[in-house]
Structure 1
Amino acid sequence: MYLRLFVVLVTISLHGHISTMASDPDPIQDFCIPNPKFGSIRTIAHLSILPCKNSTEVTTDDFVFSGLKLAGNFTETGLATIPVNPTVFPGLNTLGMSFVRADLQVGAINPPHFHPRATEITYVVQGSVYSGFVDSNNQVFASVIEQGEVMVFPRGLVHFQMNVGKKPATVFGSFNSQNPGNQKIPSAIFGSGIDVELLEKAFGLSPKEIGTMRRRFDPKTVK
C-alpha cells in the first residue's frame, strides 16, 4: 500500500514538474488579437492579458507582418536585430511564440546571451555563421552553419554567433515563447552595478580594468 502511495505521489510530482516546464500558457481560444480600445500592449508587463477583439473585427492583416524585409539598424559592433513579438505583431498574442531577424556584418558577433523563457531555433538565410551554446557542464557545442542550415539553442543556455564568412550574414531565430527574454552576459555582469570587489575577485581583473568594462557595458554610458 505504502509503495503504491509513494509511486502515485512521485508520478503526481513529476507530472506537475513537467507541466511547469511549458514556456507559455496554452491558449484557450483560436487566437486573441488585442483590442486597442482597452490600451496598448506595450504598456503592460504580461503580454496576454488585454481583452481580445471580437472575432468579427479581426482581419487577415492582423496575422501578417511585413517588418522583416530589410535589416534593422546596425550597432557599432556590426549587429542589427529586429525582434518580433506581440508588441509589434499582435497576431502572435497568446500563441506562445516569437522570432527575430539578425544581420551580422563581416566579423560581427552576437555576444553570449541566453533566453530564460524559451528554446531558440536559428535558420541561416545567407552567410556562414559560427554558432554554439554551452551546457550546464561547461561543454561547448559549436559549429559553422551555412545557408539553409539550422541550429537549436536549448532554453536558458548561453549561446552565441559570429559571422565567419566573407559576406554579410542573415539569420532568423524562432522562440517557443512570446516573451523569451534576452540577457546578454557582458551587460549583465559589467553593466548591472555588481560590487566592484566581487568582480575583481571573480575575474582576477584590476579596478582599472573593471572600470573600463563598466564604461563599455553600462547602459548609462553606452550610446
Structure 2
Amino acid sequence: MILPIFFMLSFLLSSSSCNALDFCVADLKTPQGLAGYSCKKLELVTVDDFVFSGLHTGNTSNLIKAAVTPAFTAQFPGVNGLGISIARLDLAVGGVVPMHTHPGSSEIIVVIQGIIDAGFVSSANKVYFKTLKTGDIMVFPQGLLHFQINAGTTPALAYVSFSSPSPGIQILDFALFGNDLPSNIIEETTFLDGAQVKKLKGVLGGTG
C-alpha cells in the first residue's frame, strides 16, 4: 500500500514542478493587460532581465522640484507577475510630490537622506501625517491620497517599494487642472472661483 502512494506523490510533485513557472519575465513587445505582460519565452530570458541599473540619479529641475525614477515592469521586466516593484524619489529643497494615489498598489517609503513630511488621508477623511528622518519608514495603503514634501534645507532621497509591478498613479492636481475638463465643471465640483481655476490650468497645462 505504501509503495503505490509513494509513486503517486512522486508523480504529482513532478507534474506540479513541470507546470509551475518560477517567473514570468515581461515580453514588452506584447500588449499590457490587467494581469500584466505576457511571459517572454524562457530561452530568451537572461540575467539582465532580473537586474536594473537605472536608480542612480533623479532630475529635479521641474515644476514640483521632484523626480520619481521607477523600476516598474516597463523598465524592469523581471518583476512582471511578482507583485513587487521599486522607485527612487529625489526631492530638491522645496520639492513636493503632490496628493496622488496608486490605484493598484500599497506603498512603503524608506528615507535615505534628508527630512520628508509625508502623510495620507483615509476614506473617513482622517489625516495620518509624520515628519520622517533618515532611516524612517512609512506605509501608504492602496488607493488612498498621499503626499511627500522635502521638509529640510538639503536635498532628500528615498526609495519607495510597491505591492505591484505596475502600481499606476493619478496625481490629483493634474487630474483636475492638467487636462481639458471644462473650467465651469471644476468650479462647481471644487468650489474654487474661476480666476483660481484659470491660474491652475495655466500652471499645469490644462485647457478649457
TM-score if structure 2 supplies the norm length?
A: 0.82
Q: How many Å separate the matches in 1 of 2:70 and 2:112? A: 16
Is 1:76 the counterpart of 2:72 in the alignment?
no
**Conserved in 1, the CA contact under 8 Å of 2:37 and 2:80?**
no
Q: How many Å separate the matches in 2 of 1:116 and 1:130? A: 22
Q: Deviations over 1:139-194 (max 9, x none)?
A: 11011111111000000100001111121001111111111111000111122333
Q: Name the SS for the 2:176 alignment partner.
A: helix
Decide whether aligned partners of structure 1 residues 180 and 215 sit closer, same or farther in structure 2, where only a CA change above 3 A counts.
Answer: same
Decide whether aligned partners of structure 1 residues 73 and 164 sit closer, same or farther in structure 2, where only a CA change above 3 A counts.
Answer: closer
Is 1:52 the counterpart of 2:44 in the alignment?
no
Q: Name the SS for the 2:99 alignment partner.
A: strand
For 1:23, the equivalent position in structure 2 comes to none
Unaligned 5+ segments in structure 2 are 1-19
The structure number with the bigger radius of gyration is 2
**Quick check: 84-93 or 66-75, which moved more?**
66-75
Q: 1:145 aligns with which of 113, 117, 132?
A: 132
RMSD of aligned Cα (Å) = 2.2
Q: How many Å separate the matches in 1 of 2:26 and 2:96? A: 35
Is 1:179 the counterpart of 2:166 in the alignment?
yes
Instruction: After TM superposition, give the deviation of residue 44 of structure 1 in Å.
Output: 3.6
Instruction: After TM superposition, give the deviation of residue 57 of structure 1 in Å.
Output: 4.1
**Conserved in 1, the CA contact under 8 Å of 2:177 and 2:200?**
yes
Percent identity of paired positions between Structure 1 and Structure 2: 36
| Code of the aligned partner of 2:189 | A
Is 1:112 the counterpart of 2:104 in the alignment?
no
For 1:197, the equivalent position in structure 2 comes to 184
Instruction: After TM superposition, give the deviation of residue 201 of structure 1 in Å.
Output: 2.7
Map 1:1-223 → 2, pairs under 5 A: 29-35=21-27, 40=29, 44-46=32-34, 48-54=36-42, 56-72=43-59, 74-218=61-205
Instruction: After TM superposition, give the deviation of residue 219 of structure 1 in Å.
Output: 5.6
**Quick check: 91-100 or 140-149, which moved more?**
91-100
Unaligned 5+ segments in structure 1 are 1-27
Q: How many Å separate the matches in 1 of 2:185 and 2:61? A: 33
Aligned residues: 189
**Conserved in 1, the CA contact under 8 Å of 2:60 and 2:90?**
no
TM-score if structure 1 supplies the norm length?
A: 0.77
Q: How many Å separate the matches in 1 of 2:69 and 2:45? A: 25
**Conserved in 2, the CA contact under 8 Å of 1:34 and 1:53?**
no
**Conserved in 1, the CA contact under 8 Å of 2:60 and 2:92?**
no
Q: How many Å separate the matches in 2 of 1:219 and 1:49? A: 32
Q: Name the SS for the 1:173 alignment partner.
A: strand
